[in-house]
Amino acid sequence: MCGIIGYCGPRPAAPILIEGLRRLEYRGYDSAGIAVGRDNALTVIKRAGKISNLRGHVTPEMPGIIGIGHTRWATHGGVTDENAHPHTDGSGKIAIVHNGIIENYQPLKDRLLAEGVHFASETDSEVIAHLLAGFYRGDLEAAVKETVSLIKGTYGIVAMHSDEPGRLVGARNGSPLVLGVGEGEMFLASDVTAIIAHTRQVIYIEDGEVISVTGRDYRTTDLRDNQIVKHIDHVGWELEEIEKAGFTHFMEKEIHEQPEAIRRATTGRIDHEFATGHLGGLNLSNRELLEINRVKILAAGTSYHAAMVASYVLESIARIPTTAELASELRYRNPIVERNSLYFAISQSGETADTLYAMREVQRKGGRVLGICNVVGSTIARESDGGVYIHSGPEIAVASTKAFTSQLTAFYLFALIMGRMRDVSFEQGARFVEELESVPEKIERILADTTRIQDLARRYARYDNMLFLGRGINYPVALEAALKLKEVSYIHAEGYSAAEIKHGPIALINEETPSLFIVPDDGLRSKVINNMKEVKARQGRVIALAVEGDQEVEAIADDTLFVPRSSELMYPFLMTVPTQLFAYYCAIERGCNVDQPRNLAKSVTVE
């Protein structure tokens, strides 16, 4: 979604802002702009479409050593030059960039219109610039505080005023903002990826805080002007991690990073002596863990599919009733929060509004929520009552891949801990550990030769509809496979339980609607084979994702992809990877923008 970058220091601002915006591209956007200040004047350049549309208007020589930039993902008002940020007040002295949604912008706008203020855009954000102008009496920080006191909704804001040429002021409520502390220069951004080329020293701004920044110092206060002492965090990510490293796309790179990401997610977290896991961040004693009799996992999108897989694993080996909950639904269901229930909020970005608000709702009712996040310092990670970082490294492609398998890894470790405290014996635990530790190497085998998957994608990318079918623990894998395909290739895809198709979806089957069946050698194999035959009998083409050497499945299917043999619970890892590659290659075949699919955003910070 929208991205923010601000710069204050001795260097020309424009190239730094443009570079920062490029690093934010992955979040998804539809327009971009910058405002640069010099000699008590601001220059604003903004365009609908890609950042490259700013080229020709922004030159490296463009004067100005302070500025703000923004990538917009439209919410209020269409994708136009006027609606792009930064927005200015009537005098052109104030410029602002804003992430989030101002819920009460209409009454505020009506009031400003009645006062004769002219609006240049249809956005909710523009009210901020005009409110600031009304409150400005020589102190931008004070004006920001008065402005945000009137605003209802979510915001990450950065403002500048041409009369205060060396200062940026930021404020946050529900939309991330981070300060990068450089050598004689400062950066404000919605996301550390925009600034780690310049500094790894960061300060996370919290809700209700306002930060006033010059090139040399910063001051953080609350809305009542109380000073807040902040500590500096060090970002562990390397710059290379947010670059493509020889791959054509980030999605491809991130699919290939999975073996390493899974290893990282388990590093230091397996206790071989007791054949169990060790997750220090849970902040729960063994006694407290023993008292848990229900687990609920809040999530959205791909993370929700990881939660579904997790529910099978937890129930299977720990025998704890577990449900995956769509965070967006749970929040408004007046959820029943029971004693001895444990909640997880699982989110790659740690900023997904649906998941964050559901987590807050559960916490408000006294529930304990642990976070499973990738982005260190993200809001969910900070507000949860403990949790686990999956450490997959930055995920830049909008479509989530490596985060999914790393999220599974974290849950498998949690399930092992809970299982070993209950019925799982040492021998069973040791076997589980061995199987989990063998997953990265098996994924490497799948990734070593992708030509068959590429060939398949070449032949199937022409279809407009596809079904993905799996059962048991691989049912959510089918859902995830369908989500991946539709996101990146725009092929309409549905995931179903293979058992369910006879209850309706089988009506879709004809020679133009292929089905991909996930057929591991588990207890449901013969039933899935029957489902495959039902589809074949109706002229449906069948791709099978089966286990090496399964000739029976190969003989039924039109095309078969194989994964290495494994234990039942580990197949979600192995079955997922070929479906990610299939989606990736189908998207390439169809000429889609793989890393930034249309209409999508990486971090969905609005409800």
State the catalytic residues: 2, 602
Residue 302 as a binder of ligand F6R (CB under 6 A): the answer is yes
Q: In three state form, how does the secondary structure of 113-145 look?
A: HHCCCCCCCCCCCHHHHHHHHHHCCCCHHHHHH
Does residue 254 belong to the site contacting ligand F6R (CB under 6 A)? no
Residue 366: exposed, middle, or buried by beta-carbon count in 10 A (0-12, 13-18, 19+)? Answer: exposed
Query: Which CB atom, from 302 or from 405, has the smaller least distance to ligand F6R?
Result: 302
Give the Cα separation of 582 and 76 in Å (integer): 35
- Least distance (Å) between residue 400 CB and ligand F6R: 4
Site for ligand F6R in 465-484 (CB under 6 A): 483
CA 30 to chain centre: 18
Residue 604 makes contact with ligand F6R by CB under 6 A: yes
399 binding ligand F6R? (CB under 6 A): yes
Instruction: Output the CA–CA distances (angstroms, integers) from residue 444 to 413, 440, 478, 485, 520, in the order listed.
Output: 21, 6, 21, 22, 18
Under rule CB under 6 A, residue 328 binds ligand F6R: no
Question: Token pair 């089918």 is at which residue?
Answer: 478
Instruction: Considering the complex, state which of residue 48 and residue 380 has its C-beta at the smaller distance from ligand F6R.
Output: 380
Of the candidate spans 73-81, 348-356, 364-372, 541-549, the one that interacts with ligand F6R by CB under 6 A turns out to be: 348-356
Alpha helices (H) in 388-460, listed in sequence order: 402-420, 426-448, 451-460
- The answer to the question of residue 576 lying near ligand F6R (CB under 6 A) is no
Judged by CB under 6 A, does residue 560 bind ligand F6R? no
Q: Which stretch binds ligand F6R (CB under 6 A): 95-103, 254-262, 314-322, 345-353?
A: 345-353
**Between residues 173 and 400, which has the closer beta carbon with respect to ligand F6R?**
400
Which member of 121, 154, 212, 347 binds ligand F6R (CB under 6 A)? 347
Contacts of 379 (CB under 8 A, 6+ apart): 174, 176, 350, 351, 356
Strands 186-189, 168-173: pairing kind: unpaired
- Written as one letter, the residue type at 246 is G
Q: Which is nearer to ligand F6R, 100 or 429 (CB)?
A: 100
Residues 491-510 that bind ligand F6R (CB under 6 A): none
Rule CB under 6 A: choose which of 71, 384, 400, 513 binds ligand F6R: 400
C-beta nearest to ligand F6R: residue: 301
Q: How far is the CB of 178 from ligand F6R (least distance, A)?
A: 17
Cβ distance 228 to 220 under 8 Å? yes
CB of 197 to ligand F6R, least distance (A): 23
- Using the rule CB under 6 A, is 175 a contact of ligand F6R? no
Rounded to a whole number of angstroms, the minimum distance from the CB of residue 399 to ligand F6R is 4
Pick between residue 181 and residue 586 the one whose CB is nearest to ligand F6R.
Answer: 586
Residue 131 contacts ligand F6R per CB under 6 A: no
Residue 559 C-beta: closest distance to ligand F6R, Å: 25
Q: Which stretch binds ligand F6R (CB under 6 A): 296-304, 310-318, 425-433, 548-556?
A: 296-304
Strands 559-563 and 542-547 turn out to be: parallel
Of the candidate residues 220, 276, 311, 349, the single one contacting ligand F6R (CB under 6 A): 349
487 touching ligand F6R, by CB under 6 A: yes
- The contacts of residue 450 (CB under 8 Å, 6+ apart) are 581, 585
Q: Does 199 bind ligand F6R (CB under 6 A)?
A: no
Both tokens of 575, joined, read: 């079955």
From the list 368, 375, 286, 298, the residue with the least C-alpha distance to 331 is: 298
CA distance 348 to 390: 9
Nearer to ligand F6R, 531 or 603 (CB): 603
Provide the minimum distance between the beta carbon of 351 and ligand F6R in the complex, in angstroms, as a whole number.
7
Do the Cβ atoms of 85 and 72 come closer than 8 Å? Answer: yes
By rule CB under 6 A, what count of residues binds ligand F6R? 15
| Token reading at 216 | 């040399």
Q: Does 394 bind ligand F6R (CB under 6 A)?
A: no
200/486 with CB nearer ligand F6R: 486
Alpha helices in 186-242 (DSSP H): none
236 CB-side CA count, 13 A: 9
Nearer to ligand F6R, 400 or 406 (CB): 400
The number of residues in the chain equals 607
Contact 383, 356 (CB under 8 A): yes
| φ, ψ dihedrals at 246, nearest 5° | 90, -10
Shortest separation between residue 96's beta carbon and ligand F6R, angstroms: 26
Two tokens, residue 230: 């902040």
Residue 327 Cβ, how far from ligand F6R at the closest point, in Å?
8
303 binds ligand F6R (CB under 6 A): yes
C-alpha to C-alpha distance for 251 and 391, rounded to whole angstroms: 17
Residue 111 beta carbon to ligand F6R: minimum distance, rounded to whole angstroms: 35
Where do contacts with ligand F6R occur on this chain (CB under 6 A)?
300-303, 347-349, 352, 355, 399-400, 483, 487, 603-604
